Amino acid sequence: MAVTWAPTVADVAALLRARTKDRNGREQGTFTSELAADQTRTRPTAEAVSQLIDRAVATVSAALGGTVPAGVEGAAAELVALRAAMAVELSYFPEQIQTDSSPYDRLKELYDQGVKAALPRVTEESGEDPTGEDGYKLPAFGFPVNCKPIGQVRW
């Protein structure tokens, strides 16, 4: 999902600088391309992180009510970067999450706090309240009004 406010691969790398090391253990500062020389290729690559960013855009957009108002785009981009960083940890370093050697839990705390902080701004910008009891967007369901006497449902 291409949006103008999505963060870059470098934005995600800024949150996971220690994960930008090449095969020789040298920190690259960002995720490198699959086409990079073998010794400078990072795991994950820039292409893989870009795919995780695209997925995170959809998740964050849904968490904020489906459409991100212009005044919330910066906060949404930060949330997408956090969500993509969480996905890097889950996808590439899952064994480290269990041993508390991963920043996943801290990233999740920042993400959860960010969503809760952004939701009032979404409400203010859009005029609609997308939150549920837990502060996250909930799906909305409805049934047609029953026009018949009690006991006769016609839908």
Strand-pairing partners, residue 131, are: 137
Mean pLDDT of the region 122-130: 72
Mean pLDDT of the region 16-27: 92
Q: pTM for the complete prediction?
A: 0.78
* Residue 146 main-chain phi, psi, to 5 deg: -80, 115
Looking at per-residue pLDDT, the higher value among 133 and 31 belongs to 31
Domain ranges of the chain: 9-126
132 pLDDT band (50/70/90 cuts)?
low
Mean pLDDT of the region 33-50: 87
Strand-pairing partners, residue 137, are: 131
Question: Above 90 in pLDDT, residue 92?
Answer: yes
Quote the tokens at residue 25.
């253990």
Alpha-carbon distances of 26 from 23, 49, 119, rounded to whole Å: 7, 19, 39
Q: Report the distance separating Cα 67 and Cα 75, nearest Å.
A: 13
